[in-house]
Every structure is written in C-alpha cells, then in structure tokens.
Structure 1
Amino acid sequence: MLKLTRFQVMGFRSVQDSGWIETDTVTSLIGVNESGKTNLLLPLWKLNPAKDGAIVPLADFPRSEYSELRQVSQDRAFIYADFETDAELAIALADLTGISVDHFNVVRFTCRFDGQRHVTFPNAEPPRSVPAVDVRELLANVRGKIEKESGENVRRASMTTAIDGALRILADVDLVDRDALSNVSASLSEVALPETTSTSLSACWMALVEGIDDTMKRISMSHPNEREDARNLALKRLPAFVYYSNYGNLDSEIYLPHVIQNMKREGLGAKEEAKARTLKVLFDFVKLKPEEILELGKAAATAGAPKPSQEAITAAAERTKERSVLLQSASSRLTKEFRAWWKQGNYRFRFEADGDHFRIWVSDDKRPEEVELESRSTGLQWFLSFFLVFLVESSDAHENAILLLDEPGLSLHPLAQKDLSAFFDNLSRTNQLLYTTHSPFLVDPDRLDRVRAVYVDANGATAVSADLRAGKSTSSEAKSVYAVHAALGLSASNALLHGCTNVIVEGSSDQHYMSGIKTVLIGLGRINPQREIIFHPGGGAKGVAAIVPIITARDEAPPYVILDSDGPGIDFAKKLRSGPIYAGDAGKRITNIGDVLGGLQGAEVEDLMPHNLIVDAVSRTYRGEDEDFRDVAVEGKPIVPQVEAYASKHGITLDQGWKVELAKTVKARLLKTRELSPAIIDLWAKLFEPFSSPVDAVAGTKR
C-alpha cells in the first residue's frame, strides 16, 4: 500500500505555495476560521477522488488569476504528492525499467487544472556516467590477455594500439559519460575481425566490445519518467481520496422528488452538492433507489379519479408491501453495519416512506423511543453520514483509501471529541487520515509531531508551518497554533486536577523523546502506569525552577525532573536538591541522563535513543558535500556535540529549533520500528520505573 509522505499545493484557491507538508498516518491541520485549511484538503481529493471531486474553474482557480487562467491552456499543476512505495511496486518498477529497486522508494503524482495527472520518480535518475577507473580497468585487463596470446601479430598489435588510444581518452577524467564512451568505442572500432574465424583472441576482443556496449546501454537508458508503462503501473496504485465535510450531514426527513432532481443536476452549491452526495451514498449503501421508493408508494388512485378496480387496489397493496419489506431490510443492514463500526452506542435505525417523503428514525438502549435523526445530536448525524460516505465511496479500495475530513466532530461534546481523536488512531491502521480542526480537544498532546499550523501570511495567502512555537511566530501564525497550546494547557490542568504523574524535562525535544519512549514501553507491556505520565518542557535547566512550584500540588510529592548531564544540568540538579522542595529523599526524584547511561559525561536525552536511529535521522537531514554523518558518528559519546561539530565542519547552519525537528523525526521512526534491542528497552524501563510505580516513594500514597 502506498503511503502519502508529503504534499504541496500551488496556486489553488487561496493557496499560492504551501511548501511541502509532511504527513503521517494521522495528520492534523489546525488554524483559525478562514485560514484556508479546506483549500489544502480539496486539491488532494481532486488528485484522485473516490467519487465526484471534479475540478471547477470558477471555484478552484485563484481569484486573482481567474481571468488569465480561463483563457489559456490549463496545464498548470496545482497539487504535488509524494508517496512512499511498497516493496511490490518498487520491485515491479525495477523489473520493468532495469533500474535498481532502491531508486523507486518514492513516486510523485501531480494533477493539473485540465484534469491530467502525471507521474514522476524523483529518485530514479538513471546513471549518466560511470567511474573512469572501471572502464580503464576493463581495457587494461583485456590488453593484458591480448599480450599473452600467440600468433596473429598484426591483429594483436592493432588491438593493443586501439586500447592504448582508448586509455589516452580516459587518462585525465574521473567519470565517463556517453560522449567519452562513444570516443572509446570509435577507437576500438578501428580493429577489424574476420567474419568466420573464431579464435580466443577474437573472443577476448568481442568480450571487450560487448562490455563497452553494455556500459553504454546502462548510461543511455531512458528515464522512468519517460516510460509510459512505468507511469501507468504507478498510477494504478494511486490511493483514492475520500473527502467529507459537515455540509453533507443527513436530515431526518427527505423529500424524494428533490433528491431525484438534485442527483441529476449539475452546478449545485457546495452545501447542496454535499447533501446530495450523502443521500446518494445512503441509497447506494442500503441497495435502494429513490425512484423505486417513490414509484412503489404511489396510491391505487389519486383524488378525483374514478374508483379504482380491485386489480389496481391489489397492485397498490403489493407495491406498498414490497416497499415496506425493502425499507425494513435496508434498516436492518444499516443498523448491523453501523454497530460493527461504531462501538460508542447501540443504535437502531428505521426507514419509513410516506408518499413523497422518506424519513430516518433512531433509537438506542438508553432511549428506546424512536425519534427523527434530526432530533438526535448533530454528533450522531455526523458519524452516520461520514460512515456512509467512507464505506460507499471507498468500497472498491477500502484499505487503501486516504480520508480527508474537514472540521470533523465540531458539534461533539469535548469528551466525545477526545474519543474521536482516539477513533482516528484506530482508523489509521487501515486508512491514512488528514483532518482540519481548530478544536484543542482534537489535538493529541502526545502526538504534536503530526500537527501542522495553517495561517494567513502577510500577502493574504494560506501558509503552513510545522513550527508550533507561538512566541516565535507572526501574529497570524500564533493564533493558528492556539489550539495546540490550549491542548497542552488542558493536558497540564488535567495533570493537576486529576492526579497525573508529572515529569519535568528541559525542552520540547526532550518531551518528544520521552513521550515516544513511554508509548513504546506501554506497547511492549514493560510498564503499566497507574496514572497518566505527563512530560512538561521547562525551556532549559533554569526554566525548570519556575515550573516545579506550579505543578507541585499541596498534598503531592514534587514532580520528577530529568536533566541533561552537561554543565548547566548537573549544576541545576545540585541546586534543586539543596532547596526545600527536593530536600532529603525527594532528591531521588531528580535524574541526570548521564547517571542512567553509566556516568556518560555531557549526555543528553538524545543519547537515550538507539544510536543507528538518531544517526540515520541526522544523515538524512544534514548532508556534507563529501562526508556522511554515518561515517563519523561515534557510538558511546554524546551525540549532540557530534552533530554540532559536523555541521560546523561542513558549513551547515543549525536553526534554533533544530533539536526539536530532529526529535520529531526520530520519535516518528521510533514508533514504527520493530528492531529495538533488549538492552535499550531494559534501560528505558529502568528510567521509567519510578514514574510508573504504584506507590509514591515520597508521599507514600497509592496512586
């Protein structure tokens, strides 16, 4: 299954250039109203919609360019999407093109305003040159064999002369391109071989010529981007996108003539089109046709008409009975399927048709009396409507569809929104998901790495950022991340009000690493914390001092503190232990990372991570011209100073928040890897043991 790793929107509605937006199994786009969040989801949907999703120039062209675009060829791309390929597709592309399978780890899809989609392979550039040393070695080896042959002196002389000429061509070059190799071939072509004679000398020469020809073919092969068969193969694997917004929520009473009319109409408004779409999938799902329900409901005669015959009365009764059976069957199917999908309530649905009207009635165990769907919560209306759109539109590629949810669950109670966030995690096991929101209850404080802030930049265009530091942002950007900071505030207040285990770390990067370790340990069953463990970034060693008294409750032991083993961290640990809060046994709640790592001086939280995992992340992010970080990184020494030294040596600028961005990358890979050594798991479990102990060492109370 292909996985969306990043996408970029260009010149679509309010978005001029979003830049590359990294995506995860679940990605949250947060921002205030009118920031353009919807305009980031719609281009993805229109890249490969499961259903509908046509490009509408009047709505989708940037308004400032509408008059220009509608008069010219609409071949401009508005969406670029990079997907990580699976092994099956990569192997198939490699077999088809002759290029190494490693080069097909990424496939890029684009879509233009004329609806044309294009496929490229960013990492599959065929070799256009080979090391000159390899060609020289081939020539020299053949020359040596020719000199050992006996007889045919004239021919042997011409062969060695031709090879010497080829070697002179390659004397001062490091790489051999097609032009140089053509000159080598021209030099070798001066040797004439008899047409019928087959000798070891001739065989030796032919092996040389074939070797040069094979090398020429290798550096002359067409780029996979130019191969229609390769592009079509990838295009067949492009996941479908299912888009859903609140506009499509079902009503309880549906007027069938309008449904039939709207399903056939074009040019409906956004709200009407979304409503018609949901009604269509409703009838598709329950295997009914609105025309059929309307026809079966026709009476035997209308008012003022002659008295109907007995046959007409009987036929009308049969139609009414058939409609009743159809509706009952459809109601049972919807009830059964929805219960299997949504576990938060035991709902029962009943369809009823009365003349031109179609109604949906709902009941459950807590409220057995039936009421209209519209009289139930808008949350239930949203879940039912989304359920229908998701299942029907993605039925052909259920496990591969990518879900795009626009402001999901806005009408839900805050606790239900938190349940919805957990529901998204479960759904992401089979379907990648992107959603927009401005609700802090739909932001998971433990997964801030998957949050992207959407805001309006100084030019009035939609912009996107993974930087969630409001204090460092523009006013508009700071407003967009308010939901994140509100979510963190809710998490912190929950820790204070409901007795979570509080752990203070020095910075945001440490928070990412520690929450990632917590998730892994719980998943492996190595810890079973009785209370939620919350990590609070202190903004450096000194910042910890301001947080400690705020978090420390009157009857609770002080929070745990994890500090680096650099100079400031060690000095501050001593200062805390000498103060009133951490005096005596409470001082045991302070940990320096170096103590956990066997006394490693200068150790930081980064050094708790698997060496290969963090080194690989650094290598992918920061590249020197002639030296890879993997080649110089030393295991067993603090990694942060090594990164800083490597960056300085190669003139690489490390941004102020580089440690946070690195932590996000490492945490994401940590949560996916299945190759963690028992030694590091034991190390983490030992570090976390005090946090997850059922009895507080200082307060002496059970948690």
Structure 2
Amino acid sequence: LFDFARIEQAPQEDAEGNAMAADPLPEPPEKMEIWGWRNYGYKSWFKVVEAEALGLDEEKVCEWARENVPKFVLIQDYAFSGTQVELDQLKARLDRAGGDRSTLSAEDQTILIVLDLADIDIDDFVAKGATAEGRTTRQFDKRAASAFLTQQFQKLWTQKKVRFDIDIDGPTLNVFAEDEAIGFPVRLHRRSTGFRWYVSFAWKFTHASDGEFENCILLLEEPGVHLHYSGQRDLLGVFDSLSENNTVLYTTHLASMVDQSAPERVRIVESTGKHLSLTHGVVSKQRAPMAVIESALGLTSDLSGMLGNRKVLIVEGGTDALILSKLSGLLKSGDRVGLSDQIYMWPAQTSTKAPMYAAFAIGQRWDAAVLLDTDDAGNTAKEKISEMQLKAVAEDEGYEFRVLMMGAASGVKKTDVAIEDIFPDNFFRECVNRAYGIMIQDSDLPADGSTLIAKRVESVLKNRHGRSLDKKLVLTEMLQVFDSWQKVDDLPDGVAETSEKLFKAVNASFNFE
C-alpha cells in the first residue's frame, strides 16, 4: 500500500573538516507526503499506491499513515567534539541553509538538538545576549536546559552519575560534564571519544523520540565502537530496555555487542558475488561473521574444530564443568560410571546464554546436548530452545540435539535442582559457612519457596548478614574439599549414586552405555 523514498543529503565537509554548502535536495516525487523530519542527515517521503483499486480513500489513508507510520531514527554519524560553539555563527550557517538542518554538519545538528531539548529558539537566544536583562533570562534558560539534559542522559547511561552544565558567555556556548564521584566540571571536548559518543546518541534519541523513548524504529551503525567493554555491555542493557517500546536494529562487528542471552535476535549479513543475504541465526558459511560469533562464545578456531569432532555437552557454567569433571574422575577411579571420554563439556556463562550455545552447536551440525538446572532460569532456557525449534532444525538435518534437565537426569527428589543439589544440603551450607566465616544451621534454612540449597542459604545470608551469595567464593571452599577426596568412598553420602545416575543419563542420550 505504501512506497517509501529516502533522499540522502549527508553534510559535506572539506579536507579540514569545515562544513561546505551542499547541493539542494531534490523535490519529492509527485504526490509524495513529506514525512520523517527526525532522520538525521535524511529526509523521507511516502506515497499511497493503489488505494483506489483497493476501494480506499487516498486522503484518509494518508491521514492514517501520518499518524501511524513508524518514526525511523537513523543515528549514523556520532561525531560530536564537544568544543565551544559560537551561537551567532551557528545561526548564520542555519540562515544560509534556509533553516534546513540536514545540510549542516553533524556537530551543528547536535548543538541545535541541545537547544531544542531546552526549548530554546536560537534566534531568541542570540537576541537575548544583546541586553543585560536578556542575558539574565538566558541564564535561567540554560540552567533548565542543563537539568533536563542531565536527567535524560542518566536514563540511558547507568555506569555513573554525570551532571551537565551549559555555560554561555556572550555568544560562546560550552558544555561541561561533571562526574559525581570527582566533583569537578570538565569541558565535554576533553572527555573520551566513547563518552562523547554516548552523549551524542542519548541526546539525539531523546530529541527524536520527544523524550519519551518510545514508538520509534531506532537504527544505529556500529554503536559502542568507541566504548570500553563494560560500556558496551551497559549499552546492550539500554537497548534491551528500549526494545520494550521500540524496535532497535544495529549493525556490529564487535563480539561484545552480541547479546548471548538472545540468539533469536541475531541476523548475519552475508555477501556472495553481487548478492546480499540475511541469515536468521548464529551460523554462517563465511569465516568473517563466524569469527564474531565464536569470539562472543569464547571460542577460538582451534577449539571450534575440536568441538566439532566430539560429542558436546553444554553445561550452564564453569562451576558445573569443574564439579562434574571431579565427580566423573572419582567414579571412574572406583570402576563406576562417569562421563564418557567421548563427551566434551562446554560451559556456557549462564543458563540464560545456554540457548545461544545450543543454537551455535546445532548450526555447526555438532552432536550435542544441553544440561540445564531444574529451576525457573533453566525452564526458561528450555522454553526458548523449544521456541527456536532447535531440535526440529537438528532433526531436519539428520542429527539429534538433546535437552536434559538436572532433576530428572540425576533423580534428586526436589522441586528445584541445581548442580549444588547433587550434594547433601549440609555440605553446601558448611562450605558457605567457611567461605563467609559465619554459622548457618540447618534449622535456619527456610522450608518454603525454592528447594534449591543455594537459594535457601542465600536467603539467610541476606536477611541475617546483609550479604549476597558469591558462588565463586563458595566454589573455592568446595574445591579445597574436592582435593581431599581420593576415592569414591570419600564422597558424602548419596553423592556417588546421584552423580552416577546423572552420568548414565547423559551417556545414554548420546547412545553410550
């Protein structure tokens, strides 16, 4: 019903980075409706086609489209130096452009956005600078602008609290940023490239969405490329939050910008000859995109090749792999059944990321399985694997993928079962006591809620001692105990039987005795 046209008019710069006059924009095609003024560096048009043939009133369709067609926000150029700006010169450049911002540099557009967010008209703002009364009024305007920009930026920047201050001296505008922890304002152009990138993104998107951060299709090219690793992970969290009310689409070559907990969101763009194709999933036949996915999963090409020649058991994390390896070794030393030597354990980072590992294994046609805790997180991961139809994909290719749940595989009689629940409850509780130097008793553990020993102990740890459970700290204590176990008989009561049943179930799923 709709045809869309986009006429690119990117700002032109000379060799020294100065803005140059751009060619005038072409006229929109006949009967095109002008739409989409928030597309930075672009103008967009749409027109209704075949409305009459469909028995629709063209004017009413156009009216509906203007209200309902999504607002595309293209943020392609993040250039924002943060240097001082002469407002009178900026106004002159805008006047020469006939008010058309799309012909201005990205730097000029960003400053105009700052003024828009502050509800400041540049003509009025410059005029106020000519009188003492006007300059006083302008001080209130810039304080309001500073407060609003700080508030909006904080919604998209969670690493630390930053306060912005717009300072105006005559026609000169400067932007200062002050970290709360430091308490000293620094001119924005002296901050890192990554921080200035985030500032530009936050303010542009605030402007495009009218401060509501909703009902937009947000398009970004290589976001986060100037951010350090933790900043990139924070940015993924921002995108996840924005996706509740927006569609977010971004391109990246960074492994750290691939959200491992959401493999269903990944699309790989491949180029073959003169054609482009889009692959839904985390597997490509081309080396370059696979290098990104493998890096996101902590793989090297050598390790990937080794996994492809083994039976692969995906477990929820490194702790699971360490515990299962120790138990398997002890069982085998006592002529009991451990994990088959032909099965390689591949730890995912968490249960939420296990579906990403599963999707990759299936796409690589590996003979694989995933072992998940029987708890809310494990059940959610199992459901996501089911929704992605990974088992069906494997079967269509003539091989098998298995999903094993810890409770059913080990035979532990609890509603919720994690790796720690293979051991008696008092074993894990005593490891926690030694790790934290406290004394939690069996009688202290809550009897309602989850049956996971880790959650029951953590409840007491938080309520009585005000501390969160650090499983890595507890694992250190567990490993010290593990080192004292030399034979099967050294294991706590019932552990040998439970772990052997688990290994038999895993082996049987791969058709091993």
Shift of 1:610: 13
Instruction: For residue 224 of structure 2, give the secondary structure of its aligned residue in structure 1.
Output: coil
Counterpart among 229, 241, 266 of residue 426 in structure 1: 241
| Corresponding residue of 1:481 | 290
Contact 1:48–1:238 (8 Å) recurs in 2 = no
Aligned to 1:51: 38
Q: Cα offset for 1:329?
A: 2.6
Give the alignment partner of residue 47 of structure 2, picking from 113, 117, 140. Answer: 117
Please list the CA deviations of residues 198-229 of structure 1 after superposition, one character each: whole Å capped at 9, or x if unmatched. Answer: xxxxxxxxxxxxxxxxxxxxxxxx97575645
1:426/1:683 CA distance change after superposition, 3 Å: farther
Structure 2 residue matching 1:446: 3-state secondary structure: coil
For 1:253, give the aligned amino acid.
Answer: Q
For residues 411 and 210 of structure 2, the distance between their equivalents in structure 1, rounded to whole angstroms, comes to: 47
Aligned mate of 1:263, from 68, 91, 94: 94
Change (3 A) 1:615 1:284: closer
**Alpha-carbon shift at residue 691 of structure 1 (Å):** 4.0
Q: Give the match for residue 72 of structure 1.
A: none
Contact 1:225–1:231 under 8 Å retained in 2: no
Q: What's the counterpart of residue 420 of structure 2?
A: 693
In structure 2, C-alpha distance between the alignment counterparts of 1:331 and 1:610, rounded to whole Å: 44
What is the distance in 1 between the residues matched to 2:6 and 2:142? 47
Q: Distance in 2 between matches of 1:610 and 1:367?
A: 42
Q: Are 1:288 and 2:120 an aligned pair?
A: yes
Does the CA contact (< 8 Å) of 2:410 and 2:422 recur in 1? no
1:415 paired with 2:181, answer: no
Task: State the Cα distance separating 1:616 from its structure 2 match.
Answer: 9.6
Whether the aligned pair in 2 keeps the contact of 1:350 and 1:360 (CA below 8 Å) is yes
The 3-state SS of whatever aligns with 2:141 is: helix
Q: Distance in 1 between matches of 2:297 and 2:113?
A: 38
In the TM superposition, what are the counterparts of 1:114-263 in structure 2 within 5 Å? 115-118=45-48, 224=54, 228=58, 229=60, 233=64, 236-249=67-80, 251-263=82-94
Letter in 2 for 1:116: F
Report the Cα distance in structure 1 between the residues aligned to 2:300 and 2:417, rounded to whole angstroms. Answer: 21
Question: TM-score scaled to structure 1, two decimals?
Answer: 0.42
Task: Tell me if structure 1 keeps the 8 A contact 2:152–2:202.
Answer: no
* C-alpha distance in 1 between matches for 2:66 and 2:279: 29
Equivalent position amino acid for 1:466 in 2 = H
% identical aligned pairs: 24
2:278 to 459, 464, 469: 464
Name the CA distance, whole Å, in 2 between partners of 1:372 and 1:226: 56
The Cα of 1:50 is off from its aligned counterpart by 5.2
Separation of aligned partners in 1, 2:228 and 2:258: 14
8 Å contact from structure 1 (residues 241, 403) kept in 2: yes
- Work out which structure has the larger RCO, using CA pairs closer than 8 Å and 6 or more positions apart in sequence: 1
RMSD of equivalent CA atoms: 5.7
Aligned 8 A contact 1:250 1:278 in 2:
no
2: CA distance, partners of 1:691 / 1:369: 48
Shift in CA distance, 489/281, structure 1 to aligned 2, threshold 3 Å? same
Q: Which runs of 5+ in 1 are unaligned?
A: 1-7, 14-45, 57-110, 122-221, 299-315, 497-507, 509-535, 562-575, 591-603, 622-638, 645-653, 668-679
Match of 2:177 among 357, 362, 371: 362
Secondary structure of the residue aligned to 1:438 is coil
Cα distance in structure 2, aligned partners of 1:490 and 1:252: 42
Separation in 2, partners of 1:581, 1:363: 62
**1:259 alignment partner AA:** L
Residue 447 (structure 1) shift: 1.8
**Aligned runs of 1:430-445 on 2, under 5 Å?**
430-445=245-260
Describe the superposition over 1:593-647 as per-residue Cα deviations: whole angstroms up to 9, x where unpaired.
xxxxxxxxxxx889x99999999988xx9xxxxxxxxxxxxxxxxx859x97xxx
Q: How does 1:64-75 map to 2 (within 5 A)?
A: none
- How many Å separate the matches in 2 of 1:11 and 1:350? 37
Distance 2:141 2:279 in 1: 51
Of the two, which has the highest radius of gyration? 1
1:327 equivalent in alignment to 2:327: no
Q: Which amino acid aligns with 1:324?
A: Q
Deviation at 1:437, TM superposition (A): 1.3
Contact 2:255 2:293 in 1 (8 A): yes
Letter in 2 for 1:289: D
> Is the 1:248–1:277 contact (alpha carbons within 8 Å) kept by the matching residues of 2?
no
Matched, 1:544 2:312: yes
Please give the alpha-carbon distance, in whole angstroms, between the structure 2 residues aligned to 1:685 and 1:49.
58
Give the conservation status (yes or no) of the 8 Å contact 1:248–1:271.
no
Paired positions, count: 365
Q: Which residue does the alignment assign to 1:388?
A: 203
Asked whether the equivalents of residues 249 and 275 of structure 1 are also in contact (C-alpha less than 8 Å), the reply is yes
Offset at residue 383 of structure 1 (A): 2.1
Q: Kindly provide the amino acid, as one letter, of the partner of residue 283 in structure 2.
A: R
CA-to-partner distance for each residue in 1:344-384, whole Å, 9 max, x for gaps? Answer: 22111111112332100111222211110111122222222
SS for the counterpart of 1:321 is helix
CA contact (8 A) 1:250 1:279 kept: no
> What are the superposed Cα offsets for residues 103-142 of structure 1, whole Å, 9 maximum, x if unpaired?
xxxxxxxx8xxx3334799xxxxxxxxxxxxxxxxxxxxx
Q: Contact 1:249 / 1:278 at 8 angstroms: preserved in 2?
A: yes
Alpha-carbon separation, structure 2, partners of 1:384 and 1:262: 23
Q: 2 CA distance for matches of 1:230 and 1:658?
A: 50
Number of the residue aligned with 2:30: none
Conserved? CA contact 1:50–1:394, under 8 Å:
no
In structure 1, C-alpha distance between the alignment counterparts of 2:6 and 2:64, rounded to whole Å: 28
**3-state SS in 2 of match to 1:280:** helix
How far residue 414 of structure 1 moved from its aligned partner, in angstroms, is: 0.9
Runs of 5+ consecutive residues of structure 2 not aligned to the other structure? 9-32, 344-368, 372-378, 432-473, 476-513
SS in 2 for 1:445: coil
Equivalent position of 2:322 in the other structure: 556
Kindly indicate whether residue 214 of structure 2 is the aligned counterpart of residue 399 of structure 1: yes
Contact persistence 2:76–2:220 (CA under 8 A): yes
Aligned counterparts of 2:65 and 2:406: Cα–Cα separation in 1: 39
TM norm structure 2: 0.55
CA distance in 2: counterparts of 1:657 and 1:119, whole angstroms: 46
- Tell me the residue number matched to 1:348: 163
Give the match for residue 67 of structure 1: none
Tell me, what secondary structure is at the counterpart of 1:247?
Answer: coil
CA contact (8 A) 1:454 1:463 kept: yes
Structure 1 residue 271 displacement after superposition: 9.7
State the 1:281 CA deviation.
1.5
Task: Provide the C-alpha distance between the structure 2 equivalents of 1:321 and 1:351, rounded to a whole number of angstroms.
Answer: 14
**Given that residues 352 and 360 in structure 1 are in contact (C-alpha distance below 8 angstroms), is that contact kept between their aligned partners in structure 2?**
yes
Hey, what's the Cα distance between the residues in 1 that align with 2:320 and 2:40?
57
Superimposed CA distance per residue, residues 427-451 of structure 1 (whole angstroms, 9 cap, x where no aligned partner): 2112221111111111112222212
